[in-house]
Amino acid sequence: MSDRAVAVTFDDGYADNLYKGKPILERYNIPATFFIATGHIGKTVNFWWDGLQQLLLQPGRLPAKLTINVSGNSYAWDLGTAVDYTEADLQRDKGAKVWESKPGTRLNLYYLIWQTVRTFPEQDIIEAMQQIEVWVGREVVATSEDRSLQPDEILTLGSGKLAEIGAHTVNHPSLADHPSAYQLKEIQQSKVDLEKLLNRPVTTFAYPYGSFIDETMTLAEQTGLECACSTVEDVVWFRSQTYRLPRYHVHDWNGEEFAAEIEKWFKG
């Protein structure tokens, strides 16, 4: 393998992986691994974070305070200047790195809520989103551009010599925030689901949100997975941990910017 080899991965299981990603990869003969959250296969609803974006990052005015109550716990956010969000704000935030958003902005509010809600169990996430819909005054509308893959589309995506399908849990939980039994079930069941669909072994895995602890790595190994990918940004080398493989996140860059970033990664 070349010292400057690159492995391409896609997380979650969006339909555009098949209709936009795969044709480009095949055109240039580039292999890739697609990590699929199996609980979302064939669902008509979008991932919750896309719904949250739809509710919060649209021009308009929101109430001054949001309170969410789930499982006996209360979470509150004061919006301050983020009560108002303009078309100019929306255009500015497109392609922005949400974790670098300025405090007091609507984008930062989105990030703060995302950080909290992602740690919830699946049912609490559903309840939290329902409460946010009531607070905003409208429901999330499922969009085709953010939809998940159908079973037959996963079969098409995984066909050919260039594509590999990997596991990504069932419900896309933040694994480090859950008990070991729940972590194991999520990891193992997603592997089983995909193997049943594809009729072949599934040996690779990616941690949702990049969330894991040492115990999570051990559990991934116990399920028979051969490796697991994180979101720790670094190059892979011979001392990289097999169940903590680093990856670089690709942002909304043009070709020139992307090439420059790759050069930075190789130089460390």
pLDDT higher than 80, residue 2: no
- Using CA atoms, how far apart are residues 122 and 130, in angstroms rounded to an integer? 13
Q: Show the DSSP H helices in the chain as ranges.
A: 16, 22-27, 48-56, 87-93, 106-117, 122-136, 151-157, 180-198, 214-222, 255-267
pLDDT of amino acid 14: 98
Mean of the pLDDT values across residues 118-133?
98
3-class secondary-structure state, position 69: strand
Cα dihedral 171→174→176→180 (10° resolution): -10
Q: What is the pLDDT of residues 138-151, one digit of tens each?
A: 999 999 999 999 99
pLDDT higher than 90, residue 80: yes
Which has more pLDDT, 2 or 128? 128
Q: What is the pLDDT of residues 203-245, one digit of tens each?
A: 999 999 999 999 999 999 999 999 999 999 999 999 999 999 9
pLDDT of amino acid 174: 99
Mean pLDDT of the chain: 96
pLDDT higher than 90, residue 65: yes
Domain boundaries, the chain: 8-43+147-267, 48-136
Place of tokens 């509308």: 141
pLDDT of amino acid 146: 95
pLDDT of amino acid 177: 98
Cα dihedral 43→204→99→250 (10° resolution): -100
Instruction: Please give the model's pTM, rounded to 2 decimal places.
Output: 0.95
> Which top CATH class is 8-43+147-267?
alpha beta
pLDDT higher than 80, residue 112: yes
pLDDT of amino acid 55: 98
